[in-house]
Every structure is written in C-alpha cells, then in structure tokens.
Structure 1
C-alpha cells in the first residue's frame, strides 16, 4: 500500500469542524498542521501577514473562514488566500461554506476559479451549536429563546461534515464536487425543543423573541459586535425559508445517510447538564 506523504493544513483547527478534521487526519498518522489564533501555527484572518508561513510545504488545505463567509471582507480575503496558496504550491482546497448566503456563494466561486483543485462543502446549521456552541446555555436554562418563528432547518451533525471533508482531502474522486450537506429532516426550533424534552427527560421550551431582545441579550452576555451583526443577518435574512429543503450531499459523498437530530442528542447527553446519563 502506497504511503500518503501529503501535508495537510487545517485553517480554524480549534473550531467545531476544524478540530474534528485535524484529529481524524492525525489519528490516521498523516502529516497535518492546525492553524488558528490559538493553534500550533498562528493564523489570523485579520492579519494577512500570518497566512504565508502557514502554507509552507502544504499540499492540501481545509479552509474555514471566521467569523462567517457572509461578512463583507470575506470575498477579498478568500481571493487573496487562494492566490497565495497557489504561489506556495498548494494543490487542493476544501472550503466550508454556508447555505443560502449570497456572499458565501461568491467565495465558493473564487475557490472554484482559483486554478487549484477544489471541493466545496456547503453546510446547513450545525447540531453542535447546541452542545458546544452559543446555544448550549439555552438547553441548560430550559428555554430556547430566539428571534425566529416556525421556519424549519435541516440541521447537520458536525461529525458528518468532518467525514465529508476528510474524504475530500484524501480521495481525488471528490475534486471539483460541491456537496450541499444537510440533516435528513426539516425541524423548527420548537421541534428541536420537543426533542430535547423527550430525550433529556426534562422540560425544554421554545420562545420566540424580538430581534431587539435577542441583540440586548447577546450584548449583556458579552458577545462581540461582529458576531451579533452576523447572527442578526442569519436570523433576519437567511432563516426566511430559503433553506427549507433537504439535500443528500452526505450520502453522495460517503454512501451513507446523515445523522438525525435525535441521534445527536442521545450521543451527546454528557454535554447537557441535567440530562440523563
């Protein structure tokens, strides 16, 4: 069996998907570096002078953008990064993108026309926003309070995203593919609360709040203004029903179905204080 001598760089290696991709590649004994503001390789999207050093002797990159491809600076940053990667001899980029975001689609096109081999993984909202993200406190408190109504979303498990990304980095059959990855069911935030109630055996409710109330709560929790602006955009524009459909990107890439939300809650009971162990 031929040994894999490729060198991999994970941008955002301390993030939800990046950490899993890094660990999976490292667990296979592959040569992988993690880049972030707090990783083994220092990388900051706001400091372009940090980009070049991270790309030395790298063959393939998993590219996540912080805080989100929807922000105005993203397309220029992605274009510059791809140009630099090409100069440094990188051969392949797998980009994590978001559904229903026009700015994210611009970034996808920049990667696709960069002259590099590419794969785009366009993901729906993460299940893990509730277990290791900003919504975890809602579950602990027993109330999911958000400025959203009955709109549904096909929440995706980060482990599924990780598996698609790793496959794209290790097998050239995924080159030139755009995988839109969703979970296998459309769920409203109220339905999510009902699933948590059922699995955790304690009450978790959903309460629709105003955008102003949401912003005030984020500010009092010390959330930075850029993140608040991004969340406002996501809740007021992206969650307008445009993504209320399921796509089989996970099955296309991996030959198996995506994980259901109930499975995610069961698999992560230890993350929810007060849940049954």
Structure 2
C-alpha cells in the first residue's frame, strides 16, 4: 500500500545531476516535499558540517555519491551521512548503487549497518550516460572510444530509476531492507547503442573499443589523478566483463509497467540537441 506522502519531506542529494534531478521532479509530482541538496544549495558530500542543516526535519533521503559508489570516498561518506540521518530522524534512506559492481559492496554495507530503514537500488548502465555524461564529447566528435568490447548491457533510462526511487519512498515498509536490481527492457552492445544514436541524429557515429588499460592511460594523459584512473581501470575490467548481460524484471515488478526503451531515449535526446557539436 502506498503511504500518504502529504507530509513527507525527502532530501535529494545530487539534485542537479543525472538521477537526482529526475528523482526530485518525480518526487514533487508524487506529492512529496523535496529538499534539493547540491553544492549550489550549501550541501557538500566532502564537508560533513553541511549535512545536518540539510537533513534536519527530513523524513527520508535519496543518496547518490558524486564519485563512483564503489570508491572508498563513497563508502566513508555514505556511512557517516546515513548514521547522522538516523540520529536526526531521517530514517528512510535509498541508495543508488550499481548492478554487478563488486566494489560497491562496502558502501552498501555501510548503509545496512547505519541503523536506517534502508533500500538499495542497483541500476544497470544509464542510457543518459551517452547524452549527459562523460561519453558525450566523443559522440559529438563522431566517435565513442570506450572499453566495453562487444559486451551486452541492459541500458536503463534514468527516468525509470527516479520512478522506482519514488515508489520505494512512498511504499511504506514494503521495500525496507531490500536490494532492488533494475534494468532496461533489452540487451544492446555499446556498438548497437551508438548505431541507434546515429540513426536518431542522422549523423555517422563510430564505436571504437579499447582495453580498460588503454582507456585508463588516456584518462591519465588528460590529467586524471593516477589513483582515480587506476580505480576506473579495475572497475571497467570487472563491470564490463559480461556479468550484466541479462535482464531484471525489477522495473515491472515495482512500477507495474515495462521500462523505457533505448530507442525512445535516443530519439528524445537527439531532438533535444544532446549530440550537437
């Protein structure tokens, strides 16, 4: 049963980001009071002194860390913020995690042991990573160079992630203490995804697979700190090894409908000018 959300206040971290902005929009549409948290509103994951002001008076929070969920920084911050949230009365916490990512285990465990009424949403690769994330620049120049080989991935639209998060927040205790795996409706290789974007834009786009090590060396050459580049090499070598080449029925089970398809995403993003150079 969906609980009455009239008086529920939810803190949305990353409120200007790919998922947080959609969670905030969907939560408002569902009747929740949204407290948008970002550096622009004075909230900083790296500055614990900013957390209490954001959490105080909230009933729940959506947690998405700006670094990868599997990073040591995410583990430390999520655990500390979750404990503070519980102390301040924001007991219902929803963490965005990554499906199939072994490195995310410590961060997930930090949430589980915080005393919160927790839910972990493990999402597959975002469709919007192609239109709003670090892959955009290459696509705008006509070529995506990425260490995904020909692995198949069930790309998920972040609007579905947002709808799932809101369903969790408004679901009473139905999803408390659960780990939810959510994906898109079909498997695509990165090459096939780029081909769909190419059709949507009418532009010739190329996918060039490289090894994770080659990709990491390129990032380091662009100035990324060596430790961060090495983390991404390890992440891509494991996460893009085919372990996620299967579908989950999480979206349908939670929302009662099919997840949005990649073709729909590509058409709408192209119409919005996502890949205009």
Aligned pair in 2 of structure 1 residues 83, 143: CA closer, same or farther (>3 Å)? same
Report how far residue 110 of structure 1 moved: 3.0
1:31 maps onto 2:33 in alignment? yes
Aligned pair in 2 of structure 1 residues 187, 213: CA closer, same or farther (>3 Å)? same
Secondary structure of 1:122's partner? strand
Q: Name the residue aligned to 1:265.
A: 266
2:14 to 12, 15, 23: 12
Contact 2:217–2:229 at 8 Å: present in 1 too? no
Report how far residue 14 of structure 1 moved: 1.4
- Once residues 47 and 75 of structure 2 are traced to their aligned partners in structure 1, the CA distance between those partners, rounded to angstroms, is 15
Contact 2:153–2:189 at 8 Å: present in 1 too? yes
TM-score (norm 1): 0.89
Contact 1:156–1:183 at 8 Å: present in 2 too? yes
Q: Deviations over 1:26-73 (max 9, x none)?
A: 3455321111222x2x22222222222211111000111121121123
- Once residues 222 and 248 of structure 2 are traced to their aligned partners in structure 1, the CA distance between those partners, rounded to angstroms, is 35
Contact 2:67–2:73 at 8 Å: present in 1 too? no
Aligned pair in 2 of structure 1 residues 60, 185: CA closer, same or farther (>3 Å)? same
- Once residues 13 and 222 of structure 1 are traced to their aligned partners in structure 2, the CA distance between those partners, rounded to angstroms, is 27
Q: Name the residue aligned to 1:175.
A: 176
What does 1:63-142 correspond to in 2, within 5 Å? 63-142=63-142
- Once residues 33 and 235 of structure 1 are traced to their aligned partners in structure 2, the CA distance between those partners, rounded to angstroms, is 34
Q: Name the residue aligned to 1:199.
A: 200
- Once residues 264 and 175 of structure 2 are traced to their aligned partners in structure 1, the CA distance between those partners, rounded to angstroms, is 27
Report how far residue 238 of structure 1 moved: 1.4
Name which of structure 1's ranges 68-77 and 90-99 shifts more when overlaid on structure 2: 68-77
Aligned pair in 2 of structure 1 residues 273, 73: CA closer, same or farther (>3 Å)? closer
Q: Deviations over 1:177-215 (max 9, x none)?
A: 321011111211111122122232221111123445434
Report how far residue 21 of structure 1 moved: 1.0
Q: Name the residue aligned to 1:247.
A: 248
- Once residues 203 and 209 of structure 1 are traced to their aligned partners in structure 2, the CA distance between those partners, rounded to angstroms, is 20
Report how far residue 257 of structure 1 moved: 1.0
Q: Deviations over 1:212-266 (max 9, x none)?
A: 5434543565556665444323322211122121111111110111112111101
Aligned pair in 2 of structure 1 residues 256, 83: CA closer, same or farther (>3 Å)? same
Q: Name the residue aligned to 2:161.
A: 161
- Once residues 5 and 26 of structure 2 are traced to their aligned partners in structure 1, the CA distance between those partners, rounded to angstroms, is 17
Aligned pair in 2 of structure 1 residues 24, 192: CA closer, same or farther (>3 Å)? same
- For the aligned residue pairs, the C-alpha RMSD in angstroms reads 2.3
Contact 1:131–1:271 at 8 Å: present in 2 too? no
Contact 1:10–1:35 at 8 Å: present in 2 too? yes
TM-score (norm 2): 0.89
Aligned pair in 2 of structure 1 residues 52, 132: CA closer, same or farther (>3 Å)? same
Q: Which runs of 5+ in 1 are unaligned?
A: none
Contact 1:70–1:230 at 8 Å: present in 2 too? no
- Once residues 37 and 222 of structure 1 are traced to their aligned partners in structure 2, the CA distance between those partners, rounded to angstroms, is 24
Aligned pair in 2 of structure 1 residues 225, 36: CA closer, same or farther (>3 Å)? farther
Secondary structure of 2:156's partner? coil
Aligned pair in 2 of structure 1 residues 195, 56: CA closer, same or farther (>3 Å)? same
